[in-house]
């Protein structure tokens, strides 16, 4: 049994996973400490027309936007929105998706089949299409974006857990537990769930990155947090009309999205290598 | 026969799946305390105006009744009327589908034509600098926000260098459509000047759209080739002295591609999702740009119609992929 310490050491030993972890730690730190790090915390929401659309300089590291707000400070505060959306949406998707996956995977009967069919409905269109429909009907706000993303992301967890549980169902240790008369809830929670935890963790990391991308796209389309919230996707869409002159106002938020999503993807890949023995078998060189 | 059964089962499932999709959006929009009518009417509307609009839209009736009405409408192939264009949503979307399909197919060709060779190369040079470089590129490709990449490419290639057109499908007014696919139309008319123009307009959006799909193809091909390389037949062929190039590019690749075909459905999902967003950046007159305009105008029927329409298109593409897969790989396809 590998301990959490072994896993952590292995992760840090893998350069790309370590980089991913570093990016995420930095993101969390930036989100928490935004008011302290921001060079112009007062200029995140206030209008400052005299300083509008200034190029990057020592005063304004990433330049200013059309309101004269400091883009660097706005990005730092935007990290809070990004992180909140990703954590709450993926967390909710986990809480809906994993139990449904456990039930549908364990009960091979009509109930399992029905639950799977319901999750199929949500996968009948690309996530962003359904998310657009939901957030459009609800109106633009961060809460509605979170709702739209959780409602559209949980089936991915259900599918994953379902497939894993089906594969586990006839493993010797599970059959032994059934033969010993262990109550079903105990088997599922104490024997099945821990065994499917690894793929869930990997999927969570990659799902965070994916959710951030989708959330920023919703923001770009005008469905996210209403202005003047420093939401990265919306910042890019607001910068559009000032291209090509004020190129900096579109550059920085896009790089921020890229960096953060890259962090979650790298960590996810690293976790997959460390946690999933099947991948390692097919990849003996590592 | 087996394939006919597959088609039947899948087509039979499409209707309830779409019905479920509609029900989800309906229920969510009503359970949450938010008023689409008030949104639609605007902030200045009076209470009476809102009520009048509510009655006109049939939104004053009970939810199950509204849902049934909408199903009845859908069964007649009626997606409702767009409040903004005042045309049938189905006609609007169908007129715009060729633009989206042309873009999606161009991106798909780019992603597959570049992604498969790169994936094979990555597998052959596993854990060497080439593989690491390709991995960085493919991880990065999946982390880019497509709308941002689109803007950056526009900024560089269209605004700064002026090599490529900024947006739209064609210079000037669109020609009367034959198929609606401008590339095919230009070839049919033998108008090669226009063909060049159409290609120039296609490059930036297709490249933007292809990048995440390309990253996915590289990853899947790499994994598939690595797995196939370990199979006994490869060892046998090597022992027989068959040239390494022939083994890899013919026998190994053919055996690895079955899994790649399965991913085409997934790829199409990535591409369709991407198209929705980047069409608005490139003013590409497809269904994605239509959805964006519908959002801007709070055009409820159009957004809803777009969702159903995307479900139909997506369902048909996935069905075609499944049939293709059943033909290519007859093992273990349970309908």
Please state which of the four CATH numbers 1.10.3720.10, 3.40.1800.10, 1.10.420.10, 2.10.109.10 is assigned to the domain occupying A4-275. Answer: 1.10.3720.10
Would you call B175 helix, strand, or coil by DSSP?
A: coil
For B108, the domain range is 94-299
- Residue A282: pLDDT band with limits 50, 70, 90: very low
Is the pLDDT at B152 greater than 80, yes or no?
yes
- Residue A219: pLDDT band with limits 50, 70, 90: very high
Q: What is the pLDDT of residue A24?
A: 92
Contact predicate B275/B100, CB 8 Å: yes
- Helix orientation angle between A71-106 and A142-168, rounded to the nearest 10 degrees: 40
Residue A131: which residues within 8 A CB-CB, separation 6 or more? A145, A148, A149, A152, A214, A218
Contact predicate B33/A138, CB 8 Å: no
In order, the DSSP letters of B263-306 are HHHHHHHHHHHHHHHHHHHTT--SHHHHHHHHHHTT-HHHHHHH
Average pLDDT of A176-194? 89
Indicate yes or no: pTM above 0.80. yes
Q: Please provide the size of chain A in residues.
A: 286
* Structure token digits, residue B58: 């049939």
Model confidence over B170-200: pLDDT tens digits? 787 777 777 888 888 888 888 888 888 888 8
Average pLDDT of B255-266? 74
Average pLDDT, chain B: 82
* B146–A contact, CB cutoff 8 A: yes
Which among B164, B188, B185, B167 has a CA at the least distance from the CA of B175? B185
Contact predicate A202/A271, CB 8 Å: yes
Q: Is residue B213 part of a domain?
A: yes
Contact predicate A94/A211, CB 8 Å: no
Contacts with B149 from chain A: Cβ below 8 Å: 254
Q: Is residue B306 part of a domain?
A: no
* Structure token digits, residue A176: 């032994």
- Residue A82: pLDDT band with limits 50, 70, 90: very high
What phi and psi values does residue B244 have, to the nearest 5 degrees? -60, -40
Contact predicate B318/B273, CB 8 Å: no
Is the pLDDT at B30 greater than 70, yes or no?
no
More confident of the two residues B121 and B27: B121
Q: What is the pLDDT of residue A283?
A: 39
- Helix orientation angle between B253-281 and B146-153, rounded to the nearest 10 degrees: 70
A111–chain B nearest CA distance, Å:
17
* A265–B contact, CB cutoff 8 A: yes
Q: Is residue B37 part of a domain?
A: no
Contact predicate A82/A72, CB 8 Å: no
Write the DSSP symbol of residue A241: G
* A153–B contact, CB cutoff 8 A: no
Distance of alpha carbon B145 from alpha carbon B135, whole angstroms: 18
Which among A87, A88, A112 has a CA at the least distance from the CA of A100? A112
CB spacing of B276 vs A282 below 8 angstroms: no
CB spacing of B314 vs A247 below 8 angstroms: no
A44–chain B nearest CA distance, Å:
22
Distance of alpha carbon A116 from alpha carbon A101, whole angstroms: 8
Which among B266, B256, B311, B310 has a CA at the least distance from the CA of B287? B310
Q: Is the dihedral of CA B9, A101, B256, B333 positive or negative?
A: negative
Q: Is residue B45 part of a domain?
A: no
- Residue A257: pLDDT band with limits 50, 70, 90: very high
Distance of alpha carbon B308 from alpha carbon A256, whole angstroms: 34
Q: Is the dihedral of CA B86, B89, B95, B100 positive or negative?
A: positive
Is the pLDDT at B38 greater than 70, yes or no?
no
* Structure token digits, residue B73: 């409408």
Contact predicate A206/A268, CB 8 Å: yes
**Which residues 177-236 in chain A show a CB within 8 A of chain B?**
209, 213, 216-217, 220-223, 233, 236
CATH number of the domain within which B277 lies: 1.10.3720.10
Q: What is the pLDDT of residue A86?
A: 94
Q: Is residue B324 part of a domain?
A: no
Q: What is the pLDDT of residue A87?
A: 95
Contacts with A286 from chain B: Cβ below 8 Å: 127
Q: What is the pLDDT of residue B334?
A: 45
Total count of domains within chain B = 1
A180–chain B nearest CA distance, Å:
34
Is the pLDDT at A243 greater than 80, yes or no?
no
Other beta carbons within 10 Å of B125: 14
What phi and psi values does residue B257 have, to the nearest 5 degrees? -75, -20
């Amino acid at each position: 049994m590998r301990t959490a310490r072994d896993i952590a050491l292995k992760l840090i030993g893998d350069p790309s996973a370590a980089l991913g972890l570093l990016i995420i730690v930095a993101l969390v730190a930036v989100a928490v400490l935004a008011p302290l790090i921001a060079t112009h915390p007062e200029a995140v929401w206030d209008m400052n027309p005299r300083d509008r659309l200034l190029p990057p300089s020592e005063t304004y590291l990433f330049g200013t936007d059309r309101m004269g707000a400091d883009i660097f400070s706005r990005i730092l505060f935007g990290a809070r929105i990004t992180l909140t959306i990703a954590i709450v949406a993926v967390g909710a998707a986990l809480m809906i998706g994993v139990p449904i996956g456990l039930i549908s995977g364990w009960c091979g009967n009509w109930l399992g089949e029905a639950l799977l069919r319901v999750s199929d409905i949500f996968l009948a269109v690309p996530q962003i299409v359904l998310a657009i429909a939901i957030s459009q009907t609800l109106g633009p706000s961060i809460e509605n974006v979170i709702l739209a993303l959780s409602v559209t992301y949980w089936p991915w967890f259900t599918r994953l857990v379902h497939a894993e549980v089906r594969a586990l169902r006839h493993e010797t240790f599970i059959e032994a537990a059934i033969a010993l008369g262990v109550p079903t809830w105990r088997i599922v929670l104490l024997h099945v769930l821990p065994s499917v935890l690894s793929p869930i963790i990997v999927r969570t990391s990659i799902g965070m990155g994916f959710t951030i991308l989708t959330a920023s796209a919703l923001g770009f389309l005008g469905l996210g947090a209403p202005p003047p919230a420093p939401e990265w996707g919306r910042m890019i869409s607001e910068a559009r009309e000032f291209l090509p002159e004020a190129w900096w106002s579109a550059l920085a938020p896009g790089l921020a999205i890229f960096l953060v999503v890259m962090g979650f993807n790298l960590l996810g890949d690293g976790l997959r290598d460390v946690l999933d023995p099947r991948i390692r078998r097919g990849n003996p060189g590592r | 026969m087996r394939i006919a059964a597959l088609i039947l089962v899948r087509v039979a499932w499409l209707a309830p799946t779409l019905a479920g999709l509609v029900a989800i959006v309906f229920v969510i929009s009503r359970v949450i305390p938010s008023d689409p009518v008030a949104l639609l009417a605007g902030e200045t509307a009076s209470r009476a105006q809102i009520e009048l609009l509510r009655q006109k839209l049939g939104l004053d009736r009970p939810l199950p009744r509204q849902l049934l009405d909408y199903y009845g409408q859908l069964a007649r192939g009626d997606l409702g009327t767009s409040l903004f264009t005042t045309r049938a949503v189905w006609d609007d979307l169908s007129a715009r589908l060729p633009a989206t399909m042309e873009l999606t197919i161009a991106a798909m060709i780019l992603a597959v034509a570049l992604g498969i060779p790169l994936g094979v190369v990555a597998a052959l040079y596993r854990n060497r600098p080439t593989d690491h470089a390709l991995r960085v590129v493919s991880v990065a490709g999946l982390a880019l926000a497509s709308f941002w990449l689109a803007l950056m490419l526009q900024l560089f290639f269209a605004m700064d260098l002026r090599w490529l057109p900024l947006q739209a499908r064609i210079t000037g007014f669109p020609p009367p459509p034959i198929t609606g696919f401008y590339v095919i139309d230009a070839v049919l008319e033998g108008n090669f000047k226009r063909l060049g123009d159409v290609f120039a307009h296609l490059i930036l959006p297709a490249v933007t759209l292809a990048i995440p799909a390309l990253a996915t193809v590289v990853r899947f091909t790499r994994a598939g080739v690595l797995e196939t390389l370990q199979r006994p037949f490869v060892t046998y062929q090597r022992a027989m002295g068959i040239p390494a190039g022939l083994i890899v590019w013919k026998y190994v690749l053919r055996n690895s591609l079955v899994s790649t075909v399965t991913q085409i459905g997934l790829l199409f999902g990535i591409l369709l999702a991407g198209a929705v967003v980047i069409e608005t950046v490139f003013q590409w007159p497809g269904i994605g740009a239509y959805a964006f305009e519908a959002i801007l105008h709070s055009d409820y029927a159009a957004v809803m119609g777009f969702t159903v329409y995307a479900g139909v298109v997506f369902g048909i593409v996935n069905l075609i992929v499944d049939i293709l897969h059943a033909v290519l790989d007859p093992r273990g396809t349970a309908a």
